[in-house]
Structure 1
Amino acid sequence: MASGNIVKLDIGGTVFKTTKSTLTRFDGMLKVMMETEIPVEKDESGCIFIDRSPKHFDGILNFLRDGQVTLPDSEKEILEIQQEAQFYQLDGLMELCKIQLEPTNNFRIIETDKEMLEIITHPKKSVLVIHLPAYHDGTITYPLGFDANILSTKYGSNFDIYYKPYKINNDLPKEAAPKAPPHAHPCKEALKEPFFVIYQAGCIHARPRRHMRGTVTFMQAVENEIALRYKLNDSTLKMSSGNIVKLNIGGTVFQTTKSTLTRFDGMLKVMIETEIPVEKDESGCIFIDRDPTHFRLILNFLRDGHVALPDSEKEILEIEQEAQFYLLDGLMELCKRQLKHSAEKKIPPNHNLRIIETDKEMLEIITHPKKAVLIFHLPVTNGGIIIYPDGFNANTVSMKYGSIFDIYYKPYKAHQDLPSDPYFNIYEVNSIRLGPNSSFYQNKFSQFMVQLERGIANHIQNNGY
């Protein structure tokens, strides 16, 4: 192709015109596509077809033309542009997005157990906590090959990422610090290495994932766990394989590829890979009688394995309905998490998480209570992990019993040589004499929530509520 020739690109059904010199200005997928003989898909008009959303492609072309571009104010849109820049392998545009997102994706440190409890109990989205060992001289040990910026750029749209240093044996030099055995659980043994924990938005019970030396790098271990849980997949330089598919969704035509439609199990995959009869319009497009409003978002989910959902609860419910029709379990799960978070934000102010930090606070609260007090005592391990009982949900407890009790949480340091389990106390208005109602973490015969419900039922009965 001669230099300066006009190039037509069909991006997800929308045609853009540019020049070869623009597309080859910066290293990346488009330059490779123009300057090498790699096979490319073409539509019926001869335009090069790329199975991506056209929403931000104008901005990408403007970046290629000028080397810079004005990004929108919306964090959601910047994350979408960053995702496209990652697909097209445009390092400069990815860096611009990263700089713009720095106020929300910067290096965030958890300094206290109270902060940890607040972050993981009411997360806006899933939380990734990297626990880093700190020596007596203040040195923090990072895993080999670990890059916080890469982690933030790659997964900042899916996780709130935090870092929590934890003290290790201060009496020994780094070289002499004993290592935990390979089979050791980070909650129970003396930790000497970095580890990470993922707290899902709808579930605060999580086990630490400890990086085992000699297998994969720490970054690989983190990415493997994320991929396992969320089925996230990196955009690659590889062009979509298979023929272009045109779909007429309720009168609006979308263009994509067979490989995109068959990426995840569901109705679209069955429709493409089997011989089931399909309706076609007068142009030969496969016709599906559904509202097209959210289908572009559905295609983005199929392309990347994740998608930024809107803030509107009404729109999320509409998307969930479409995901249910197309049998896309992953997208339905994303919608459920987002809706759960929206419900959590509606908790009244007097139901906020309240932490008791000192014994003095504890004494003041239970000595002169305005109403009955319910206190949850939660053990904290040396590694900073807060142990919750199985099946415990702070929001459910708060919504259900917040009108009866003032509810508080008191973390306490777990002792290495003694069993440490969550327990609760109920303090009556006119009496502070009450022994702890313990619920052993591993007790198969008496679950914490069952015991809690019984204790509250007794309290209600005794006080005539």
Structure 2
Amino acid sequence: MSISDPVVSLNVGGHIYTTARSTLTRYRDSMLGAMFGGDFDTAARDDQGRYFIDRNGRLFEHVLNFLRTTQLVLPEDFKELRLLEMEADFYQIQPLIEALKTHKARLETGPCDVVVLSHRHNPYHPFSVAASNSRVVQTRTGENKMSKPDSVVSLNVGGHIYTTARSTLTQYRDSMLGAMFGGDFDALRDDQGSYFIDRNGRLFEHVLNFLRTTQLVLPEDFKELPLLEIEADFYQIKPLLEALKNYKARLENKRCEVVVLSASGTELSIAASSSDVKDVVNGLETCNPYRYDDNEMAGLLGRLQDKGFTVQSHFTFRKEITHNALTEKWVLVRKTARKSLDSK
């Protein structure tokens, strides 16, 4: 940063940052590079004259750290990787997108790192870096959705201050926020002139993220789903309510533990949905797996039911037509503790 490098003040979703213009324009083909490199004639500003960007202000810290250092360094317990990927995609910072892919690959593959260098005909980024990944990360072209005439709105939600665009709040016109900021009724303001909503300000971050992206992305260790459902219901954002319903259903499906017992002749085999569940079954089994009888099987089934498993299906079949012995199979299911759904 030279002495002539101008200092820029940013308001990103209500979070204030100050940085050098050269930092923001490090990658000229990114959205920030275009915005502060002179490619945008006019950029939205808040009432203090700061450049305004209607995105997640808390996660912008990691974006700005990368722009300053060209390195991706996240906290060890970072749980919002997918949401940060969405932010990087919005800003179209290709090296950050690739660094996140590499970071995800390391998390998935452990100590084994695979790096692929590709040459690109781009004067700002002649090389791209990618890494092995078991999932394909789809990116789409970022766009600056907020047009100049769109007004900037300051919100005080239960003491938490947010800044966003009016068009974001009115995206769903049949919601409470759509009516509130669409002119259908007057809104209360605090002593600083911010619109005041007497609701949970911390959880409003997830509501606002959804309004900005139309996607529900929650931290991996999120434990306040019932509270967030209450907030979504208050704001009457139907797509968010539906997304929460689907999210909850996915969690329910993941929380099923399955045990399959197969008895053929005098031999018993056990399969389970995870090694932990298999250990539970092995700890309950007192019969010889190679010489079982009906009484021992009944005892094992009873002990599994005492542990919360229920028999979902039981059937008998013959593996081969020429094979006289019948095979009996039991499928037992147990739902695990739902801490993230029951926490207050």
* TM value normalised by structure 2: 0.65
Matched with 1:39 is 42
Distance 2:215 2:141 in 1: 11
Shift of 1:102: 1.4
SS at match of 2:72: coil
Matched with 1:180 is none
Shift of 1:314: 4.5
Distance 2:265 2:313 in 1: 12
Structure 1 unmatched runs, 5+: 107-147, 156-233, 373-397, 409-424, 434-465
CA deviation map 1:421-441 (0-9, x unaligned):
xxxx479xxxx99xxxxxxxx
Matched with 1:53 is 56
Q: Does 1:271 align with 2:166?
A: no
Q: Which amino acid aligns with 1:319?
A: L
Shift of 1:345: 5.6
Q: In 2 relative to 1, CA 368–39 (structure 1 residues): closer, same or farther, beyond 3 Å?
A: farther
Q: Which amino acid aligns with 2:12?
A: I
Matched with 2:24 is 23
Distance 1:313 1:49 in 2: 29
Shift of 1:322: 0.5
Shift of 1:343: 4.4
Which of 146, 153, 166 aligns to 1:240? It is 146
Matched with 2:260 is 354
Q: In 2 relative to 1, CA 66–346 (structure 1 residues): closer, same or farther, beyond 3 Å?
A: closer
Matched with 1:315 is 224
Aligned-pair Cα RMSD in Å:
3.9
Q: Does 1:84 align with 2:83?
A: no
Shift of 1:21: 1.1
Shift of 1:302: 1.0
Superposition pairs for residues 292-303 of structure 1, below 5 Å? 292-303=201-212
Shift of 1:44: 1.1
Q: In 2 relative to 1, CA 24–80 (structure 1 residues): closer, same or farther, beyond 3 Å?
A: same
Q: Does 1:68 align with 2:64?
A: no
Superposition pairs for residues 47-446 of structure 1, below 5 Å? 47-74=50-77, 76-102=79-105, 152-154=136-138, 236-241=142-147, 242-264=150-172, 265-311=174-220, 314-344=223-253, 347=256, 352-354=258-260, 370-371=297-298, 402-403=309-310, 405=311, 407=313, 425=315
CA deviation map 1:248-291 (0-9, x unaligned):
21232211001211223521112222422322223332221112
Distance 1:266 1:363 in 2: 63
Q: Which amino acid aligns with 1:295?
A: F
* Range with bigger deviation, 302-311 or 290-299: 302-311
Shift of 1:298: 1.1
Distance 2:268 2:142 in 1: 56
SS at match of 1:76: coil
Shift of 1:153: 1.8
Matched with 1:5 is 6
8 Å CA contact 1:313–1:339 kept in 2: the answer is no
Q: In 2 relative to 1, CA 40–63 (structure 1 residues): closer, same or farther, beyond 3 Å?
A: same
Q: In 2 relative to 1, CA 5–269 (structure 1 residues): closer, same or farther, beyond 3 Å?
A: same
Distance 1:9 1:294 in 2: 23
Distance 2:141 2:216 in 1: 13
Matched with 1:160 is none
* Range with bigger deviation, 300-309 or 328-337: 328-337
Q: Which amino acid aligns with 1:38?
A: D
Structure 2 unmatched runs, 5+: 110-131, 270-291, 300-304, 318-324, 327-344
Q: In 2 relative to 1, CA 335–275 (structure 1 residues): closer, same or farther, beyond 3 Å?
A: closer
Shift of 1:103: 5.0
Q: How many residues align?
A: 266
SS at match of 2:155: strand
SS at match of 1:45: coil
Larger strand percent: 2
Distance 1:76 1:335 in 2: 18
Q: In 2 relative to 1, CA 365–85 (structure 1 residues): closer, same or farther, beyond 3 Å?
A: same
CA deviation map 1:427-460 (0-9, x unaligned):
9xxxx99xxxxxxxxxxxxxxxxxxxxxxxxxxx
Distance 1:276 1:150 in 2: 50
Distance 1:296 1:101 in 2: 24
Q: Which amino acid aligns with 1:44?
A: D
